[in-house]
Amino acid sequence: MLPLEERTYQRLLGIAFGLGLAGGVFALAYSFITGWGMDLFLFSEPTSELFSGQWWWILLTGAGALLVAALRSRGGVAGEVPGGVALLRSGWVQPSTAFTLVVISAVSLVAGASLGPSFGVIVSGGGFGAWLISRHKDATEDDRTSWALTGMAGGLGAVFAAPLFGAQMTSELSPTPKRSYVTAFIPQFIAATIGFVVFFGVTGTEMLESFAVEGYAFASWHLIVAIPLGFLSALVLLLNVAVRRLVARAAQLLPNPYLRALLLGSLIGFIAFAVPLAAAGGSPQLVYEIGHASALGIGLLLLTVLAKMVAMALSQEAGFLGGTVFPILFIGGTAGLIVNAAIPGIPASLAVACMLAAVPGAIIAAPVSFVLIGVGTTGLGVEAIAPIGIAVVTAYITTSALKLRLSRRD
């Protein structure tokens, strides 16, 4: 039963509409600014030809990283900043730093960082919810968490143009006890739906079929193939972690934050220039890859995946702020195309959908959310839920088992 007799819960249900409206408006403004910047600097025009990007991207990302370093210093944003997933897990965004973080993340995306928009909308929506509840002196810790998470759900439902996904991911990652799952989910779903209505009403954008891969027809053997696809997804994720650590160690050799920002930012621009498919957040690039899959060789796709991993790690070490979900979706989707190119008997639609969902699902404990992402973005339909789910669960079990073994060895 919902605690409808509690005044605090009644207030949360009411404010969920306002938080959803705010999340939709925040997502619209954020997407407009970052989208305008990416269009202006030609990041939204992918090409598969090597060294065919814009040479001045090297200057742009270097200067952008310097600007971000200055903004972080001026705004008191030093050291490592929790990512969007970490904020969802904590259930809180500090209102006093939210505006600064959103500005820095917007500048990061416009400057060509290999990151996505989820961080900015989580911070803006969660920060607004946290600010509102902070004005109530009698608010409990549960109230503070509920309002912040509901604000985050409103932003996620809008920017992903998927209300169920926004609410589900918030609920799966939140610190809310599972016995209170439905109680917390309902206001989050209300906020995510209102955010989606605002965003969709203005842009007409929705998650469904954004990475559509044609030619899928379910067969029982797909359930078996999903298992090795899950294992492979875990390996791709582990490779990404290894690249991240190597880049982090190299970045420690540059203690001066401005010199580090300039050099690493310029490297990000060079990667975008040399391998344009690895530029920026990755959504337009993945659409391009899927549409031109037959013309892309395995070598180019492998190079693109590795370049994307390096660019994403460099973006984080350079001080840029942004989400990692969209870039990892790109890595997973591209890895699926590699599987299809190497083993044509595995349909591209199945490989892309499974690995697009399972690569991030190998590390982020939100399996239902990523199954929704895999099914929704590729447009495969409900018959693909089972193989995608098997791939996601296999990937997560694999990484969990490896972590356990490493911890026992230590």
CATH value at residue 346:
1.10.3080.10
- Regarding whether 155 and 292 lie in a shared domain, the answer is no
- Regarding whether 318 and 249 lie in a shared domain, the answer is yes
Q: What is the per-residue pLDDT for 224?
A: 94
Could you give the CA distance from residue 278 to residue 301 in angstroms, rounded to a whole number?
Answer: 10
Evaluate whether residue 58 is within a structural domain. Answer: yes
Distance of CA 111 to CAs 52, 261, 338, Å?
Answer: 18, 12, 29
Evaluate whether residue 212 is within a structural domain. Answer: no
Express each pLDDT in 244-270 by its tens digit: 999 999 999 988 999 999 999 999 999
Evaluate whether residue 306 is within a structural domain. Answer: yes
- Regarding whether 338 and 391 lie in a shared domain, the answer is yes
- Total domains, the chain: 2
CA-based torsion, 7, 89, 282, 342: positive or negative = negative
Among 203, 236, 270, residue at a domain's last position = 203
- Regarding whether 311 and 177 lie in a shared domain, the answer is no
First to last CA, the chain: 45
Task: Judge whether 159 and 123 are in contact, CB under 8 Å.
Answer: no
- Regarding whether 229 and 183 lie in a shared domain, the answer is no
- Regarding whether 330 and 195 lie in a shared domain, the answer is no
- Regarding whether 375 and 309 lie in a shared domain, the answer is yes
Task: Judge whether 129 and 60 are in contact, CB under 8 Å.
Answer: no
- Regarding whether 255 and 127 lie in a shared domain, the answer is no
Evaluate whether residue 216 is within a structural domain. Answer: no
Evaluate whether residue 27 is within a structural domain. Answer: yes
In 252-324, where does DSSP find H-type helix? 257-274, 283-291, 298-317
- Regarding whether 225 and 192 lie in a shared domain, the answer is no
> pTM of the predicted model, to two decimals?
0.92
Share of the chain above pLDDT 70, in %: 99
Among 160, 175, 203, residue at a domain's last position = 203
Evaluate whether residue 215 is within a structural domain. Answer: no
Tell me which residues of the chain have a pLDDT lower than 50. none
In 205-282, where does DSSP find H-type helix? 221-251, 257-274
CA-based torsion, 220, 223, 229, 231: positive or negative = negative
Residue ranges making up the domain that contains 252: 221-409
- Regarding whether 178 and 103 lie in a shared domain, the answer is yes
Express each pLDDT in 285-294 by its tens digit: 998 999 888 8
CA-based torsion, 292, 293, 295, 298: positive or negative = positive
Evaluate whether residue 210 is within a structural domain. Answer: no
- Regarding whether 151 and 227 lie in a shared domain, the answer is no
Evaluate whether residue 214 is within a structural domain. Answer: no
Among 138, 171, 203, residue at a domain's last position = 203
**Nearest to 66, CA basis, from 265, 206, 278:** 265
- Regarding whether 183 and 66 lie in a shared domain, the answer is yes
Q: What is the per-residue pLDDT for 125?
A: 93
